[in-house]
Amino acid sequence: MRLTLGPVFYNWPADQWSDFYAGIADEAPVDRVVIGEVVCSKRLPFYQDHIPKAVERLQRGGKEVVLASLGLVTLPRERKMLSDLAESGLPVEVNDLTMLRHLKPGTRFTVGPLVNVYNEGTLGLLAGRGATTVCLPPELGFASVAALTAEGLRLGAEIEIWAFGRLPLAISGRCYHARLAGLTKDSCQFVCDADPDGLAVETLDGQPFLAVNGVQTVSECWANLVGDLTRLAEVGVGSLRLSPHTGDMTEVARLFRSAADSRIGPDEAIAGLAALAPERRFSNGFLFGQFGAEWTH
Amino acid sequence: MNVPELELVCPAGTPAALRAAVDAGAHTVYCGFADETNARNFPGLNFSRDEMAAGAAYAHGAGSKLLVAINTFPRAGAEEIWHRAVDDAQAAGADAVILADLGLLAYAAEHRPGLRRHLSVQAAAANADAITFYAETFGVKRVVLPRVLSVEEITAINRDIDVETEVFVFGGLCVMAEGRCSLSSYATGRSPNMSGACSPASHVVYTEEQGELVSRLGNFTIHKVPRDAPAPYPTLCKGCFSAGGQTGHVFEDPMSLDAAELIPRLAEAGVTALKIEGRQRSRAYVSAVVKSFRRATDAIAAGRPVPVSELAHLTEGQSSTLGAYRKNWR
């Protein structure tokens, strides 16, 4: 099983962002790194100039690098971002179908978890247009994953699963960070930079529930499938996606690598991840529970 | 400025609501089959195959059109259910189907090429490139625009595309990009995208705790109100939560959309059709809303000012919003 490091979803300062990728390039046992802005086009200018250097360093580190496209595209400058990506010469991850219009026929691409790939017909259509790897929507249950993985094997498209990190649950035209600060998206003052893993949202009972990340809503808990890799491997899942968070992502990747290679058992891997950030709650409910937020281990 | 007549697209959750909408002046009604193939899959709603055929005949007899929404995302291993819905919509005499899933669009384009295809709001095609992709790839003739766009952006999109656009003007309001939200699934395990029901009643529990009425969705508290206050339905994104030291409606206040005052601007923006949300609503509600909006579209067609909306009492929570049509909603 391969490991993919997904794009950073959160508003990190440019230096932190660069340091993060330098560490990943040099130390993390991941096969592929998806890099670039998915959540908010207003954040990109802060680190855009750092991207080429990060890409080069990751490639020197033996990683396959894929450029992420924006998740919700509405503005003219956002459409321009996509056309620039299509000209970059690097593989592109499609996170909104708008990107397909910009890719030249015959171009190979990957598909990110924000694209609705729920069934064999959609998977076949995307594979037919050049999709080589498809990260499925995180809300899919195990039966759907098994069916789509079988179809992916038949089509020659690798199926990837969201395996670690806060789950992307929704994207909106509205910025919730701005709303909470009494601002609007257009005048947001980039208040989302205060929350490098998102801002927790609790119920009125004080129960942890969700987190907001600008226009995106993510789960409060961290998806964690490190204890479920045997079942995923059995149905032919080809790749696991790890979503960047603060803390030691290199160690997260090492634990997933060790578990995927059966060098450590599921319990040891779960314990290892818990030890890295004891305050974080885990979930694997979309795949193996009654509802997304559930943790079955 | 001379603008063409706007088509009023009205909800029909039941055969009775369909007749009420047509009688009230709906140019077009939209409905779904009574199963998981449509995004308003609520108990007691929607149409059998025979009812759909009778509904199409009723609409056509009055000079109205009938659209069938097959706008959920087919489940892996069960696409046949959705394919059959497309086949049966054509057999029932539908003027078009409203689809969201790529695979289903491909099926309809290949196997039912004579059946007109509209792109559902659930596909969240929010810019001219995405719309053109669907038009070129699947021959989509009309796109229902997601509720994340301002009037200015809709104007710009219409300049850049060759297909019709339809926009929501009244009713419930998704605050997230439609079809790209798994909040309800996270809390309940039932995916609106696949099963057609957001914040499903099957997972709603009301309890009284310490003098308060608490509404929960799955294990999560969505609202708490004083015991004697009306209990809001726990639609997840309209719930009351705490974040960053504040407590309130983090995502959206319990408002519904009323864009009646924007109809002239939407017409100038090049929009073809105005859509009213509410297939789960009563016959009386549908009739009142359709009559009101028909007066508005007739006024525009005749070059008269749009009458002031008298629908405030019908909006949920007694307050309404212009939503994303107004840029500072964001």
**A210 belongs to a structural domain:** no
Rounded to the nearest 5°, which phi and psi values hold at A139?
-80, -5
- B173 band by pLDDT with thresholds 50, 70 and 90: confident
Contact check, Cβ <8 Å, B183/A118: no
- Summarised one tens digit per residue, pLDDT across range A214-238 is 999 999 999 999 999 999 999 999 9
Q: Looking at beta carbons, which residues of chain B come within 8 Å of A172?
A: 148, 175-177, 251
Determine the pLDDT at residue B243.
96
Task: Report whether pLDDT(B1) > 60.
Answer: no
**A193 belongs to a structural domain:** no
Q: Looking at beta carbons, which residues of chain A come within 8 Å of B224?
A: 204
Token digits of residue A292: 């997304």
Determine the pLDDT at residue B307.
79
**A38 belongs to a structural domain:** yes
Contact check, Cβ <8 Å, B101/A144: no
Mean pLDDT for chain A? Answer: 97
Contact check, Cβ <8 Å, B247/A205: no
Q: Residue A183 burial (CB < 10 Å; 0-12/13-18/19+)? A: middle
Task: Report whether pLDDT(A122) > 50.
Answer: yes
DSSP of B77-122 = T-HHHHHHHHHHHHHHT-SEEEE--HHHHHHHHHH-TTSEEEE-GG
- CA nearest to A235, candidates A132, A145, A137, A100: A145
Q: Average pLDDT in the A43-64 region? A: 97
Interface of A with B in 148-187 (CB under 8 A): 148, 151, 167, 169-176, 178-180, 184-186
- B316 band by pLDDT with thresholds 50, 70 and 90: low
- B285 band by pLDDT with thresholds 50, 70 and 90: very high
Nearest CA in chain A to B83: A121
Q: Average pLDDT in the A4-28 region? A: 98
Q: Looking at beta carbons, which residues of chain A come within 8 Å of B330?
A: 173-175, 178, 184-186
Contact check, Cβ <8 Å, B330/A148: no
Domains and CATH numbers, chain B: 7-173+255-329 (3.20.20.70), 192-248 (no CATH)
- Summarised one tens digit per residue, pLDDT across range B252-264 is 887 788 898 899 9
3 state DSSP class of B34: coil
Say how far apart CA A151 and CA A121 lie, in whole Å: 10
DSSP of A145-202 = HHHHHHHHHHHT-EEEEEEEEEEEEEEESS-HHHHHTT--GGG-TTGGGG-TT-EEEE
- B4 band by pLDDT with thresholds 50, 70 and 90: low
Determine the pLDDT at residue B220.
97
Task: Report whether pLDDT(B314) > 80.
Answer: no
- B5 band by pLDDT with thresholds 50, 70 and 90: confident
- Summarised one tens digit per residue, pLDDT across range A168-227 is 999 999 999 999 999 999 999 999 999 999 999 999 999 999 999 999 999 999 999 999
- B229 band by pLDDT with thresholds 50, 70 and 90: confident
- Summarised one tens digit per residue, pLDDT across range A87-108 is 999 999 999 999 999 999 889 9
Domain at A119, CATH number: 3.20.20.70
Determine the pLDDT at residue A157.
98
**A295 belongs to a structural domain:** no
Q: Between these two residues, B315 and B185, which has the higher pLDDT value?
A: B185
**A173 belongs to a structural domain:** no
Mean pLDDT for chain B? Answer: 92
Least confident range of A145-154, A181-190, B135-144, B296-305? B296-305
* pLDDT cut 90: percent of chain B above it: 78
- CA nearest to B278, candidates B55, B64, B50, B9: B9
Say how far apart CA B97 and CA A47 lie, in whole Å: 44
Sequence-distant (6+) residues with CB within 8 A of B80 are none
Determine the pLDDT at residue B254.
78
* pLDDT cut 90: percent of chain A above it: 96
- Summarised one tens digit per residue, pLDDT across range B34-80 is 999 998 888 889 999 999 999 999 999 999 999 999 999 999 999 99
Token digits of residue B252: 């959206």
Least confident range of A273-287, B160-174, B182-196, B314-328? B314-328
Task: Report whether pLDDT(B329) > 80.
Answer: no
Contact check, Cβ <8 Å, B102/A114: no
Determine the pLDDT at residue A238.
98
Determine the pLDDT at residue B317.
53
**A39 belongs to a structural domain:** yes
Q: Average pLDDT in the B5-25 region? A: 96
Percent helix, strand, coil in chain A, to 5, is 40, 20, 40
- CA nearest to B27, candidates B152, B166, B227, B230: B166
**A259 belongs to a structural domain:** yes
Determine the pLDDT at residue A220.
97
CB atoms within 10 A of CB B164: 17
Out of A75, A122, A178, name the one closest to residue B102 (CB): A122
Q: Which residue matches tokens 């063409």?
A: B4
- B326 band by pLDDT with thresholds 50, 70 and 90: confident
Contact check, Cβ <8 Å, B129/A101: yes
CB atoms within 10 A of CB B257: 22
Determine the pLDDT at residue B227.
87
- CA nearest to A221, candidates B220, B223, B72, B130: B220
- A253 band by pLDDT with thresholds 50, 70 and 90: very high
Q: Looking at beta carbons, which residues of chain A come within 8 Å of B74?
A: 118-119, 121
Q: How many angstroms separate the Cα of A271 from the Cα of each of A3, A183, A221, A252, A266?
A: 20, 41, 16, 11, 9
Domain count, chain A: 1
Q: Between these two residues, B222 and B305, which has the higher pLDDT value?
A: B222
Q: Which domain holds residue A55?
A: 2-167+221-288
Residues A164, A169, A170, A175, Cα dihedral to 10°: -60
